[in-house]
Structures are given as structure tokens and as C-alpha cells.
């Protein structure tokens, strides 16, 4: 499942964030890459624990934890603290699959990367190239969203960031360990939850709502890992 979540940050917020990012110092993006990924990764990144990355990441997660669509689709259990990157002057990241397990710096807790997320801080017209390409069951899909928008997709997906040939592409990215490990099961629950919400809005007294809601929770009880 690939999900577009629009408007997580407002236009004014994005402008303030981007101004701060343009004025900060960056490190080589290979600092958080695995052995194989490091060979394909050519970008800049704020180090883990960087004050600006922590500030932006905290604001992101506060909004996502209150966002019904994200909560329904991701069913989050644990999240790796968001990281911030920048692609410019030919920067790219060739096809790869993210490491299955991530451990935040300075923490003993490990996060299984069931879901990957990218939140854009640059508008498509601000840079050429830089598309996020994701291979899924429907083929290769290119993602280049408005600043403030986020995409959520399975961590098992083969994906890459095309070379940026003009301007700069600023973004945040992170991983989520879901209560439900299997993507097909999460997709079924997400679609079922959406149908229940629609039926609740259209026919709030329909007797099938009780049965459907019960079936949703029984499936979640069967598949969830806590």
C-alpha cells in the first residue's frame, strides 16, 4: 500500500523549516547507510540527534499520532526518530531496500522497518529530478509531492531517489514498526476501517456496523503483535 498524506505542515511552516535547513551544516548521508546502501547513497543529512532534526521530528510525530489516516494505515507501534536529508548537485540514492531493523543512536530499543515514510519540504518546481521511485505490485511509481505532504509505503519495497540536477530537495524520512507486520493484512484492515467510517457517516444506525466493527477488531486481535 502506498498512501499520500497531504498538508502535514502548512505553507508558512514549510517556509520556516526550509529557511532553517538552508542555514544549517550538513554531514555525508552515508552516516546512517548500511554497507550495501552506502555504495548507492549520495546525499547530505543532518546527524542523528541534531537539534533541528529533533525539533522537526517531534512536530511531525505529534501530528501523525493525531492523524486518523496515518493511524489507520500504519497501526504504529514504534517509530524510528525522523531524519532530515538534502539532495543537490547531482545527489541521488540508487535502488535499495531499507535495513530491516534500525536502532536509534544512544538507544537500546530496536525498530523493525515495516513502513517507510518521506515528508517533502521542497516543492516540485524548486528542483529538477529527485523523484522517489517505488517498485510495488503495480510497477514503478514516481512520487514528487508538494512541500508539507508525506508518502507512506512498505519498507520491503525496492526504491530510489533520482538524481537532482537543479535546486535542492529537502525532506524528512523515518520508519514505523507496525502492530501488524504483514502489508497485505494492514491494507485489508485499512480498507475495512475506511468502509466502516463511511458507513458510520452515511448510515449511522445500520445494524451491520456492529458486526463489521467487531470483525475488524477480531482481525486486528488475531494479527497484532504487542
102 is in an annotated binding site: no
169 is in an annotated binding site: yes
88 is in an annotated binding site: no
50 is in an annotated binding site: no
User: Phi and psi of 162, rounded to 5°?
Assistant: -65, 155
- Rounded distance between C-alpha atoms, residue 212 and residue 159, angstroms: 35
User: In terms of DSSP bridges, do strands 115-120 and 127-129 run parallel, antiparallel, or are they unpaired?
Assistant: unpaired
Pick out the residues of the known binding site for 2-oxoglutarate.
Answer: 169
Pick out the residues of the known binding site for Fe cation.
Answer: 96, 98, 159
Pick out the residues of the known binding site.
Answer: 96, 98, 159, 169
Amino acid at each position: 500500500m502506498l498512501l499520500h498524506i497531504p498538508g502535514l505542515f502548512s505553507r508558512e511552516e514549510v517556509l520556516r523549516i526550509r529557511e532553517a535547513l538552508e542555514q544549517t551544516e550538513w554531514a555525508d548521508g552515508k552516516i546512517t547507510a548500511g554497507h550495501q546502501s552506502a555504495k548507492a547513497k549520495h546525499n547530505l543529512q543532518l546527524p542523528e540527534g541534531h537539534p533541528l532534526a529533533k525539533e522537526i521530528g517531534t512536530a511531525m510525530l505529534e501530528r501523525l499520532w493525531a492523524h486518523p489516516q496515518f493511524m489507520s494505515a500504519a497501526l504504529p507501534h514504534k517509530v524510528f526518530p525522523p531524519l532530515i536529508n538534502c539532495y543537490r548537485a547531482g545527489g541521488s540514492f540508487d535502488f535499495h531496500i531499507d535495513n530491516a531493523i534500525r536502532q536509534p543512536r544512544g538507544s537500546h530499543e530496536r525498530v523493525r522497518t515495516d513502513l517507510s515514510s518521506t515528508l517533502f519540504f521542497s516543492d516540485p518546481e524548486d528542483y529538477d529530478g529527485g523523484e522517489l521511485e517505488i517498485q510495488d505490485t503495480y510497477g514503478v511509481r514516481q512520487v514528487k509531492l508538494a512541500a508539507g505532504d508525506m508518502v507512506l509505503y512498505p519498507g520491503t519495497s525496492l526504491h530510489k531517489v533520482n538524481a537532482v540536477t537543479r535546486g535542492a530537495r529537502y525532506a524528512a524520512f523515518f520508519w514505523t514498526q507496525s502492530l501488524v507486520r504483514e502489508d497485505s493484512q494492514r491494507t485489508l484492515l485499512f480498507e475495512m476501517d475506511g468502509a466502516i467510517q463511511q458507513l458510520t457517516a452515511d448510515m449511522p444506525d445500520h445494524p451491520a456496523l456492529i458486526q463489521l466493527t467487531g470483525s475488524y477488531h477480531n482481525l486486528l486481535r488475531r494479527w497484532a503483535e504487542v
